[in-house]
Amino acid sequence: MTDTTLNTLFDELREWRDAGWIRSIDLAFVEFLQQAGEARNEVLLAAACASHEAGRGHTSVNMNALQTEPESVLNLPPENRYSPNCTAPGGLFRQFGVNLETALTQSHCVDVEGNGNQPLVLTGGKLYLRRYWQYEAFIERDLQLRMSDRPVTNDDLLKSTLAKLFGQAGNGNNGDINWQRVACANTVRNRFSVITGGPGTGKTYTVVRLLTALQHQTLFLGLPPLRVSLAAPTGKAAARLTESIESELDTLRGDAKLASLKDALDSIKPEGKTLHRLLGVKPNSRTFKHHADNPLRTDVVIVDEASMIDIEMMTALLKATPKQARLVLIGDKDQLASVEAGAVLGNLCSGADQGYYHTETAQWLQQVADIADFPTELIDDNGERRLQHVVKFRKSYRFFGPIADLANAINRQDDAAVQQELEQARNADDEHSVQLYEVNSLDAPEFTELVRGSRSSPRLESFNHFDDYAKAVLDANTDFQILTALREGPWGVKAVNQKVGDILGVNANSWYEGRPVMVTKNDYGLKLNNGDIGIALKDPEHGHLRVAFPDQEHGVRWVLPSRLTHIETVYAMTVHKSQGSEFKHTVMVLPDHDSPVLSKELLYTGITRAKERLSLVGMFALGLNSKAC
C-alpha cells in the first residue's frame, strides 16, 4: 500500500480486526471519530492504537515510542495471529511523514492537557482515551487530599503497643530492621498507606498487628471500636485473607503477654469480601451502590492483593471510601498488574526500593518503631510525597531456596544469576526444587509423565460424609497447577487444557467426574465470583454430578452443572488468573519462542505461585529485559 487514503486506512483496520489484531470496538471508535469530522489518517490510526492499548491493560500510549517502534509498543502482530493481508503498523506510520504529536494537537477530537471534553486527551506526550485520563486525574487528586490529612495519634501509646506486638526492635542494620513494625507505625500515622512485599514477607501477619494497634488507639480514647472493611479483588484472595487473619488472631489471643490488648484483639471481626461485594455492584452495569454520595460506613478499608486492582476499580474504591477513613493497600508491587487497564499499585510503589523517605519521616519512624539507626541510603528529602506513605518489606521469612532465588534473579533482571539458577536446576535431583523440561512440544513424554504423576485424589471410603470428601478433593486440587503465559496458540491455556484432557482420556470441555472448572464471570445469584474453582463430583447418594465449590461458612457448596453458564476447564490457567493463589507444585508452560508477553512481571508472578516445587516447561530464560507497563 503506497498512498494511504482514508478508505484504504479503514480497509487496513478492518483487516487488522478480521485477523484478530485489534478489537471490533477499536475499529468502531475510529469510525465514530471519522463520523465526527476527523479525516486525518495519522490521528485516526493513533486513536485506534490508544483504544487497542486500553484493551491490553495500558491507560495511554506514548506518541514518540508509537512513531518510532510501533510493532513493539502495540505487540502487533499478536501471538499466533500473523496475517499476510495486514500491513504492519510501522508500514502505515512511515507513510505519514508527520509528527504524530503535532498532528494530534491540531485535531478537534483531541483535548490538549485535559481542559475540554473531547474523546481523546493528549498530555505529557501520551494519548489517552478520556475515560482513563479522568480516572488517573481523579486518583491523583484524591490521594493528594488523603495524604495531606493526618489522623490524631498517641505516639507513646503506639510505641508501647508495637513493642508488645513485635517484641525487641531491630538493631538498625537494613537486613535486621523489622519492616513489619515500621509499616504498622507508618499506617497508623496516615490516612492512606501502601504495604508492599514479596511472598513470605509477612503481609498478613502485619495486618492483624496493624488492626490491633489501630483498635487499641481508639479504645484507649474511649471511642467505639473501629469499623473495619477487608477486601480483595477475587473471592479466592478474600477467603485467604480471612483465613489468615483468623489464624493469626488465634495465636495472638493465646499469648499471655498480650493480655492488655485483649479488648483490641476481641474487637477484630475478620470478614474478607471481594471488592465488588464490598462496593455493592449493580448487576449489568458499571456502577456500585456505594460511591461519593453514599460512601461505605467504615473507618478502615484494607485491600489485599492490590496489584490486581485496575484503574477503574481504584477510582470506584476511592469514591466509596470516606475521606476520614484509613485506606490501606497491600500487595506485591512486582507482580503482574490487572488484566484491565492501569497498574495502580506498581505506579504507587515506583521508587519504593530506594525508599526516598524525607528526614522528618525517617526520624518519626525511627523513634516510634524503635529503630537504632534508620538506613541513610533510604533517606532523600527530594523524595515524592506518596513514598512517605509506602513501606516495602525487605526480608522473606518463608519463601527461600531455589524457587525464590530464581524469582528474585528474574525480578532484578540479572541475566547471569538467572542462567546460574537454571543451570543448577538442570543438575538438581531434589524434587522440592526447580525442574526443567526443555521440550519443543506438549506431546513430549516428559509433559505426559508430569501430568499423569500429578493426578492424585483422596479415597472416598476414607470419609464418613461426602462433604468432607469433597473438601479434601478441593484441597488436594491446590497441590498441583499448570500455568501458561499465553491464552491462544499451541502453548496457550486452551491448547494445554485440551492436551491434559487427552492425556487423562477425557473430553476436557464436557462434564465428567473430576472435571476442575473456573468461574469466569461473577454470578451474584449463585454467589460465585470470577476466579472461583470447583470440582465436578458424583454423589453416590444422588447418583448425579454436582460441582463442589469451597465455602467459608459451610466448607463446601454444591451447584448443578446446568446452572454454571460462565465456566472453563482449569487443568491449566493463565498466570494472570493465578494471582492471589499458591500451589505446592506449579508447572509453568512457556512458549518455544520469544514473545512480548514474557515480561519479568509475568515470569516472577508465575514462579512465585509455587510453594514447594516448580517445573518449567518449554523456553523460560526469555523476556527478562522487558517490563510490563
* Torsion sign across C-alpha atoms 328, 330, 333, 335: negative
514 is in an annotated binding site: no
Rounded Cα–Cα distance for residues 548 and 580 (Å): 20
Q: Is the pLDDT of residue 235 over 80?
A: no
Mean pLDDT of 538-566: 87
Rounded Cα–Cα distance for residues 254 and 372 (Å): 30
pLDDT in tens, 392-446: 998 887 777 888 889 888 888 888 888 888 888 877 766 668 888 888 888 888 8
pLDDT in tens, 191-227: 999 999 988 888 989 999 999 999 999 999 899 999 9
Rounded Cα–Cα distance for residues 435 and 405 (Å): 14
199 is in an annotated binding site: yes
Q: Is the pLDDT of residue 170 over 70?
A: no
DSSP 157-199: HHHHHHHHHH-SPP-S-TTTS-HHHHHHHHHHH-SEEEEE--T
114 is in an annotated binding site: no
Q: Is 301 helix (H, G, I), strand (E, B) or coil?
A: strand
272 is in an annotated binding site: no
CB 61 within 8 A of CB 469: no
State the CB neighbour count (10 A cutoff) for residue 238. 26
Rounded Cα–Cα distance for residues 609 and 305 (Å): 13
Domains in the chain with CATH codes:
9-139 (1.10.10.1020), 155-392 (3.40.50.300), 402-508+571-628 (3.40.50.300)
Helix then strand count (H, E) for the chain reads 24, 20
Confidence of residue 627 (pLDDT cuts 50, 70, 90): very low
Confidence of residue 461 (pLDDT cuts 50, 70, 90): confident
Q: Which residues have a Cβ under 8 Å from the Cβ of 430 and sit 6 or more positions away? A: none
pLDDT in tens, 362-373: 999 999 999 988
Mean pLDDT of 494-513: 91
Task: Report the side by side order of strands in the sheet with 572-574.
Answer: 434-437, 610-618, 583-590, 480-484, 572-574
Residues in the chain, overall count: 629
Kindly state the DSSP code that residue 592 receives in the 8-state scheme: S
- For residue 483 the three cell numbers come to 500455568
Q: Which residues have a Cβ under 8 Å from the Cβ of 566 and sit 6 or more positions away? A: 519, 520, 521, 523
Measured N-to-C along each axis, helices 359-368 and 155-166 cross at an angle, to the nearest 10 degrees, of 60
201 is in an annotated binding site: yes
The predicted pLDDT at position 400 comes to 77
Rounded Cα–Cα distance for residues 194 and 593 (Å): 37
Q: Is 29 helix (H, G, I), strand (E, B) or coil?
A: helix
Q: Is 452 helix (H, G, I), strand (E, B) or coil?
A: helix
The predicted pLDDT at position 349 comes to 92
200 is in an annotated binding site: yes
The predicted pLDDT at position 318 comes to 97
Which is more confidently placed, 554 or 296? 296
Mean pLDDT of 264-286: 88
Q: Which residues have a Cβ under 8 Å from the Cβ of 90 and sit 6 or more positions away? A: 69, 70, 71
Query: Which residue(s) pair with 193 in the sheet?
Result: 328
In 363-423, which ranges are E strands?
A: 390-392
Q: Is the pLDDT of residue 622 over 70?
A: no
The predicted pLDDT at position 543 comes to 79
Q: Is the pLDDT of residue 598 over 90?
A: no
| pLDDT > 90 in the chain, percent | 51
Query: Which residue(s) pair with 480 in the sheet?
Result: 585
Rounded Cα–Cα distance for residues 601 and 624 (Å): 9
Which is more confidently placed, 214 or 176? 214
pLDDT in tens, 276-293: 889 998 877 788 999 999
Q: Is the pLDDT of residue 173 over 50?
A: no
For residue 77, cis peptide bond before it (omega within 30 degrees of 0): yes
Rounded Cα–Cα distance for residues 608 and 590 (Å): 15
Confidence of residue 163 (pLDDT cuts 50, 70, 90): very high
CB 15 within 8 A of CB 92: no
The predicted pLDDT at position 414 comes to 86
Which is more confidently placed, 79 or 274? 274
Confidence of residue 621 (pLDDT cuts 50, 70, 90): very low
Q: Is the pLDDT of residue 551 over 70?
A: yes
Please provide the average confidence, as pLDDT, over all residues in the chain: 87
- For residue 332 the three cell numbers come to 506485591
The predicted pLDDT at position 577 comes to 86
pTM across the whole model: 0.85
203 is in an annotated binding site: yes
204 is in an annotated binding site: yes
Q: Is the pLDDT of residue 172 over 70?
A: no
pLDDT in tens, 88-127: 888 888 776 678 889 999 999 999 988 889 999 999 999 9
- For residue 57 the three cell numbers come to 491493560
Q: Is the pLDDT of residue 246 over 60?
A: yes
